Amino acid sequence: MQAILSTYLPVLIFVIISLGIACTMLGTALFSAKQNPYDEKIYPYECGFPAFEDARQIFDVRYYLVGILFIIFDLEMVFLFPWAITLSKIGAFGFFSMLIFLVVLTIGFIYEWCKGALEWD
Protein backbone atom coordinates (compact mmCIF):
# COMPACT_ATOMS: atom_id res chain seq x y z
CA MET A 1 0.00 0.00 0.00
CA GLN A 2 2.87 2.36 0.79
CA ALA A 3 4.39 1.80 -2.68
CA ILE A 4 1.13 2.76 -4.40
CA LEU A 5 0.80 5.93 -2.33
CA SER A 6 4.41 6.92 -3.02
CA THR A 7 3.87 6.61 -6.77
CA TYR A 8 0.89 8.98 -6.62
CA LEU A 9 2.63 11.47 -4.34
CA PRO A 10 4.04 13.57 -7.26
CA VAL A 11 0.54 13.80 -8.75
CA LEU A 12 -0.88 14.94 -5.43
CA ILE A 13 1.87 17.53 -5.03
CA PHE A 14 1.25 18.77 -8.59
CA VAL A 15 -2.49 19.12 -7.93
CA ILE A 16 -1.91 21.00 -4.67
CA ILE A 17 0.61 23.38 -6.26
CA SER A 18 -1.71 23.93 -9.27
CA LEU A 19 -4.67 24.74 -7.06
CA GLY A 20 -2.50 27.04 -4.95
CA ILE A 21 -1.27 28.96 -7.99
CA ALA A 22 -4.78 29.20 -9.45
CA CYS A 23 -6.29 30.45 -6.17
CA THR A 24 -3.43 32.94 -5.74
CA MET A 25 -3.94 34.33 -9.26
CA LEU A 26 -7.71 34.60 -8.86
CA GLY A 27 -7.42 36.17 -5.43
CA THR A 28 -4.82 38.67 -6.59
CA ALA A 29 -6.97 39.68 -9.55
CA LEU A 30 -10.09 39.94 -7.39
CA PHE A 31 -8.53 42.09 -4.70
CA SER A 32 -6.21 44.25 -6.80
CA ALA A 33 -8.55 45.07 -9.71
CA LYS A 34 -10.90 48.01 -9.51
CA GLN A 35 -14.44 46.65 -9.33
CA ASN A 36 -16.70 49.20 -10.99
CA PRO A 37 -19.60 47.46 -12.72
CA TYR A 38 -22.06 49.74 -14.49
CA ASP A 39 -25.03 49.10 -16.76
CA GLU A 40 -23.20 49.12 -20.08
CA LYS A 41 -20.38 46.93 -18.79
CA ILE A 42 -22.62 44.16 -17.49
CA TYR A 43 -25.14 44.35 -20.36
CA PRO A 44 -25.21 41.12 -22.39
CA TYR A 45 -24.19 41.62 -25.99
CA GLU A 46 -23.33 39.64 -29.06
CA CYS A 47 -21.47 41.03 -32.07
CA GLY A 48 -21.22 44.47 -30.48
CA PHE A 49 -24.86 45.52 -30.59
CA PRO A 50 -27.87 44.81 -28.36
CA ALA A 51 -30.06 41.81 -29.07
CA PHE A 52 -33.11 42.69 -31.12
CA GLU A 53 -34.88 39.33 -31.35
CA ASP A 54 -35.42 36.20 -29.31
CA ALA A 55 -32.27 34.18 -28.72
CA ARG A 56 -34.11 30.95 -29.51
CA GLN A 57 -34.83 31.73 -33.15
CA ILE A 58 -34.49 29.03 -35.80
CA PHE A 59 -31.34 29.23 -37.92
CA ASP A 60 -31.28 28.50 -41.60
CA VAL A 61 -30.02 25.05 -42.54
CA ARG A 62 -27.28 26.60 -44.68
CA TYR A 63 -25.64 27.93 -41.51
CA TYR A 64 -25.14 24.37 -40.30
CA LEU A 65 -24.04 23.16 -43.75
CA VAL A 66 -21.31 25.77 -43.86
CA GLY A 67 -20.25 24.73 -40.35
CA ILE A 68 -20.08 21.07 -41.38
CA LEU A 69 -18.13 21.96 -44.52
CA PHE A 70 -15.68 23.94 -42.42
CA ILE A 71 -15.14 20.96 -40.13
CA ILE A 72 -14.68 18.61 -43.09
CA PHE A 73 -12.10 20.77 -44.81
CA ASP A 74 -10.40 21.58 -41.53
CA LEU A 75 -9.97 17.85 -40.93
CA GLU A 76 -8.68 17.51 -44.46
CA MET A 77 -5.90 19.96 -43.63
CA VAL A 78 -5.15 18.05 -40.41
CA PHE A 79 -4.61 14.91 -42.47
CA LEU A 80 -2.72 16.60 -45.30
CA PHE A 81 0.15 18.07 -43.28
CA PRO A 82 1.40 14.81 -41.71
CA TRP A 83 0.84 13.05 -45.01
CA ALA A 84 2.99 15.59 -46.84
CA ILE A 85 5.75 15.29 -44.27
CA THR A 86 5.85 11.46 -44.33
CA LEU A 87 5.19 11.01 -48.04
CA SER A 88 8.71 9.74 -48.75
CA LYS A 89 8.35 7.05 -46.07
CA ILE A 90 4.86 5.75 -46.87
CA GLY A 91 5.47 5.27 -50.58
CA ALA A 92 2.96 4.68 -53.33
CA PHE A 93 0.34 3.07 -51.09
CA GLY A 94 0.15 6.17 -48.89
CA PHE A 95 0.10 8.45 -51.91
CA PHE A 96 -2.82 6.67 -53.58
CA SER A 97 -4.70 6.32 -50.28
CA MET A 98 -4.55 10.08 -49.79
CA LEU A 99 -5.43 10.62 -53.44
CA ILE A 100 -8.63 8.58 -52.95
CA PHE A 101 -9.36 10.56 -49.77
CA LEU A 102 -8.95 13.86 -51.63
CA VAL A 103 -11.10 12.68 -54.55
CA VAL A 104 -13.93 11.75 -52.17
CA LEU A 105 -13.70 15.15 -50.47
CA THR A 106 -13.63 16.93 -53.82
CA ILE A 107 -16.73 15.05 -54.98
CA GLY A 108 -18.48 16.05 -51.75
CA PHE A 109 -17.44 19.67 -52.22
CA ILE A 110 -18.69 19.73 -55.83
CA TYR A 111 -21.97 18.16 -54.71
CA GLU A 112 -22.46 20.82 -52.03
CA TRP A 113 -21.56 23.54 -54.52
CA CYS A 114 -24.05 22.23 -57.10
CA LYS A 115 -26.79 21.99 -54.46
CA GLY A 116 -26.24 25.67 -53.62
CA ALA A 117 -25.21 25.15 -50.02
CA LEU A 118 -22.48 27.79 -50.34
CA GLU A 119 -24.70 30.54 -51.80
CA TRP A 120 -26.39 33.06 -49.55
CA ASP A 121 -29.51 34.94 -50.59
**Residue-range domains of the chain with CATH:** 2-115 (1.20.58)
Which residues in the chain belong to E strands, given as ranges? none
Residue 16 backbone phi and psi in degrees, to 5: -65, -45
Between 56 and 89, where is the model more confident?
89
Q: 120 with 65: CB under 8 angstroms? A: no
Using a cut of 0.75, tell me whether the model's pTM lies above it: no
Cα–Cα distance measured from residue 77 to residue 70, given in angstroms and rounded to the nearest whole number: 11
- Chain centre distance of CA 112: 23
Higher pLDDT, 99 or 17: 17
Alpha-helical regions (H) of 34-86: 39-42, 61-85
- 23-82 residue pLDDT tens: 999 999 988 988 787 777 777 666 656 666 666 777 677 777 778 888 878 888 888 888
pLDDT at residue number 82: 87
Q: Which residues does residue 46 pair with via DSSP β-bridges, in sequence order?
A: 49
Residues 6+ apart with CB under 8 A from 69: 109, 112, 117, 118
Provide φ and ψ at 54, rounded to 5°.
-70, 140
Distances (CA, A) of 24 to 12, 20, 71, 76: 18, 6, 38, 42
